[in-house]
Amino acid sequence: MSLIRFLQKEIPSMVLDETDLFLKAKSILPHLKYKDITESHITEVHNTDGIDLATAFLYDVVRNRSPHPSFYEKFESFVPESGKFGKIKGKVLVVPAGLYEELPEYAGDGSLVLAIAKKFGLNTLKIPVLSKGKISENVNIIKECIEKEKEPLYVFSFSKGSSDFRVFLESYPELTKKVQLWVSICGIHRGLHLVERFVSNSKLKTFFSKSLLNVVGIPIEFVSDFSLGSRFLSLPFALPKQIPTVSVVGFPIEAHLKGTIRLRYQYLSQFGPNDGFTLLKDAMIPGSKIIPVWGADHYFRTPKVSNILHQLFHALQKGWLF
């Protein structure tokens, strides 16, 4: 090993010709539309052509083969630099990600969403869910907040916050009429393969998992709530028909990632396209409008993040999300 290689802190994945990747993706099952895609289609491409092309194929199907291509054209046409922010009546509620207090650098508290919402004249509130809270605890906090609200509500949730909000909707359907829109950003809506590595029937694994979690002050349920057999998330989510919903989903390939999320991505790649935490098919809520973001990971770290959030509020103001 050369000294230069030894001194290198991290060896990135090789860059790819992503233009070529997209061209190949367009040629795969070219007559397949978004409404017809199944998990077996994704698995077939994955097994035949690898994870990068499977991710590009899924992105192409979502972005270019949807029944409403004009939505993406209108959505992407807004230029925030114009400074022309329309006014929207109502209130934005943010359901933060798990560990948003312990890991503020990932912006899981939704502070950027709240700041942009104010530009559009909206009132705002960060729902004070517990940063290390169990789903059941956070559902009760969401319920208490929404019960008090009188204005039209637009809910933005991040990562685990989407799990909390999903279970709230299932638990208290009588309160769903207060919600005018739900935007799930890199949301976790189903159990996680990652969790199966640490929460299993193995007594040794369980011992080490509980010991580590006790040290950092996280209840075991914070993790076990996301097992594939979770009592909250194991079943498919039936979205309430009266709530327009948007799924903002990152579509990374390994060349876009570094650090620990790249390692998680590598592990999850055996199961299919993923964002480093959850499978992309699970991040896309059935029946929702999907905004795919090429290159973004589960933490939604992308240079496009500010533009996309401004475009979301512009689309809300224009009525395109309903």
Per-residue pLDDT reduced to its tens digit, 40-88: 999 999 999 999 999 999 999 999 998 877 899 999 999 999 999 999 9
Tell me the two tokens of residue 43.
């698995």
Residue 1 lies in a domain: no
Report the domain count for the chain: 2
Long-range contacts, stretch 9-15, CB < 8 angstroms, 24+ apart: 10/258, 10/259, 12/255, 12/258, 13/254, 13/255, 13/257, 13/262, 14/255, 15/255
- Structural domain containing residue 23: 15-64
Q: Are residues 32 and 101 in the same domain?
A: no
**pLDDT value for 114:** 98
Residue 165 lies in a domain: yes
Residue 259 lies in a domain: yes
Q: Are residues 75 and 24 in the same domain?
A: no
Q: Are residues 197 and 54 in the same domain?
A: no
Residue 4 lies in a domain: no
CB atoms within 10 A of CB 314: 22
Residue 270 lies in a domain: yes
Give the chain's count of helices (H) and strands (E): 14, 6
Q: What is the CATH number of the domain that holds 202?
A: 3.40.50.1820
Which residue did the predictor score with more confidence, 218 or 151?
151
Q: Are residues 88 and 222 in the same domain?
A: yes
Start-to-end C-alpha separation, the chain:
57
Q: Are residues 178 and 262 in the same domain?
A: yes
Q: Are residues 120 and 174 in the same domain?
A: yes
Residue 206's pLDDT band (boundaries 50, 70, 90)? Answer: confident
Q: Are residues 224 and 297 in the same domain?
A: yes
Q: Are residues 38 and 91 in the same domain?
A: no
